[in-house]
Every structure is written in structure tokens, then in C-alpha cells.
């Protein structure tokens, strides 16, 4: 099955007919179905047929297929599928998380409780999605995640950025802690967020990193300092 799935992904990349991929998705063969869904999702053109195939797969017996179908529907920007995705918010955790992330990508807030649940498990993707949605209900869970000692640094940075997007200044402390952390995990992401959000209060941390980059590209640091708009980029 793995060989067939790899072959299907390759065929999809080479532009094989959509009908072939849709037929693979309809098979009772999870690796093949997942490969078909991923191949369709990678295409620049998302047709009604592709959306229909993914919607059918959303009810498949395999949770891996259902989770992949949810992600594919988000990739298709299939806003017509939001109700079907919301119906999967009572599914097993893996599918529920995938459906919630897909809903967030489509601008639908119904998955916020599931995203908060995933955030509690240290999910970077959930932290980012909650920030993108501007979900005020996630403010305290995000602050808790940002302040928790054992939260992965990348997730801590995403939670900090999400808090800033919610107008909560606690996000700066979270990003500062990632910029100053001993480990480099999440530091480039944190620098990017400081740049995008124009967090001038964190300029000293960026200037310190220019002298000792600690896992951050110097060009990124200079771009971030320039984006803050004051002083020298060093």
C-alpha cells in the first residue's frame, strides 16, 4: 500500500486526471485515500469534484482519512464545507483537532473550544489559529500556555503573538521569554512575530541577538530591526 500511495502522490504532482485521484479516495485503503487527498490538495485548481471527494472522505471509517479530508477541505478553501466540518467536532481527538484547524482556516469560530483543548496539549497550530481568529474566549488559555514552564517554545511564541493580536500585553512577556531562552527553538518565529507586529518594546532583545544570534539568521534580525523603524539595524 505504501508503494501505491507514493506512486499516486507522484502521479498527482505530475498532473494525472482528477478522476483517478477521486477514485483512489473512494477506495477502502487508507494510505491510498490519504495520498489521493494530499495530491488533490496540492493542486492549484480546486474543483467541485475534489471538494465532493473530500466531503465523502470526511465520513470514512478511518480516522486518519477523516483528519486528512478535513485538512484538504481547508486547502480547497471550501467554505461550503463548514457545516460538515463542524459536525466532526464531536469526533475522536485527532479528527476533532483537524476539523477545528480547518474551520479556523476558513474563518469559522465553531472550532474554538477544540482549539483551546489542543492548545492545552502544546499545539503550535492551535495557538496560531486562535490568534488568527481573534478568539477572545482563548485569551486566558493562551496566557496560561504562554506562562507554563513546559510549553514548547514555538507554541509559547505563537501564544504570545496571539495574545498581542487580542490586544493583551502579556504577549510581549511571552515573546521576550522565547527571545531570551537558552534553547533556540521558536526564536526565529518569535523574531518574525516581533517584526510583523512591530513590537518596539522588544527591540533590546533583537539588538542583543544581533551581537549573538543564537540560532537566528542575521538578515532576519536586521529586517526586524528596520521594521521597528527607530535606531540603527546594526
Q: What is the pLDDT of residues 103-114, one digit of tens each?
A: 999 999 999 999
Q: How much is the pLDDT for 231? A: 54
pLDDT of residue 13: 46
Per-residue model confidence as pLDDT tens digits over 4-52: 545 445 554 445 577 778 878 888 889 989 988 988 888 756 788 889 9
Residues of the chain with pLDDT under 70: 1-16, 44-45, 230-234
Strand (E) or helix (H) holding 34: helix 30-41
% of the chain with per-residue pLDDT over 90? 77
Q: What is the pLDDT of residue 15?
A: 55
Supply the pLDDT for residue 123. 98
Closest CA to 221 of 194, 198, 191, 181: 191
Looking at residue 50, its pLDDT comes to 87
The total number of residues shown for the chain amounts to 234
Instruction: Measure Cα distances from 197 to 63, 137, 202 in Å.
Output: 37, 21, 11
The residues spanned by each domain of the chain are 1-76, 141-234
Q: What is the pLDDT of residue 6?
A: 55
Amino acid at each position: 500500500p505504501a508503494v501505491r500511495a507514493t506512486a499516486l502522490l507522484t502521479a498527482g504532482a505530475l498532473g494525472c486526471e482528477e478522476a483517478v485521484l477521486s477514485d483512489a479516495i473512494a477506495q477502502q485503503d487508507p494510505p491510498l485515500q490519504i495520498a489521493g487527498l494530499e495530491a488533490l490538495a496540492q493542486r492549484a485548481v480546486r474543483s467541485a469534484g475534489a471538494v465532493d471527494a473530500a466531503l465523502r472522505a470526511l465520513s470514512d471509517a478511518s480516522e486518519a482519512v477523516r483528519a486528512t479530508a478535513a485538512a484538504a477541505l481547508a486547502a480547497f478553501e471550501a467554505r461550503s464545507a463548514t457545516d460538515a466540518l463542524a459536525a466532526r467536532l464531536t469526533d475522536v481527538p485527532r479528527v476533532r483537532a483537524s476539523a477545528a484547524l480547518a474551520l479556523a482556516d476558513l474563518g469559522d469560530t465553531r472550532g474554538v473550544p477544540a482549539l483551546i483543548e489542543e492548545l492545552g496539549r502544546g499545539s503550535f497550530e492551535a495557538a496560531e489559529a486562535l490568534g488568527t481568529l481573534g478568539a477572545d474566549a482563548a485569551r486566558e488559555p493562551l496566557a496560561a500556555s504562554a506562562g507554563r514552564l513546559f510549553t514548547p517554545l514555538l507554541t509559547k511564541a505563537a501564544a504570545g503573538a496571539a495574545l498581542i493580536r487580542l490586544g493583551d500585553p502579556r504577549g510581549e512577556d511571552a515573546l521576550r521569554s522565547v527571545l531570551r531562552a537558552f534553547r533556540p527553538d521558536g526564536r526565529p518565529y518569535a523574531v518574525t512575530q516581533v517584526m510583523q507586529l512591530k513590537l518596539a518594546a522588544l527591540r533590546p532583545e533583537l539588538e542583543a541577538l544581533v551581537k549573538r544570534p543564537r540560532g537566528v539568521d542575521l538578515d532576519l534580525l536586521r529586517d526586524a530591526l528596520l521594521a521597528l523603524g527607530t535606531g540603527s539595524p546594526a
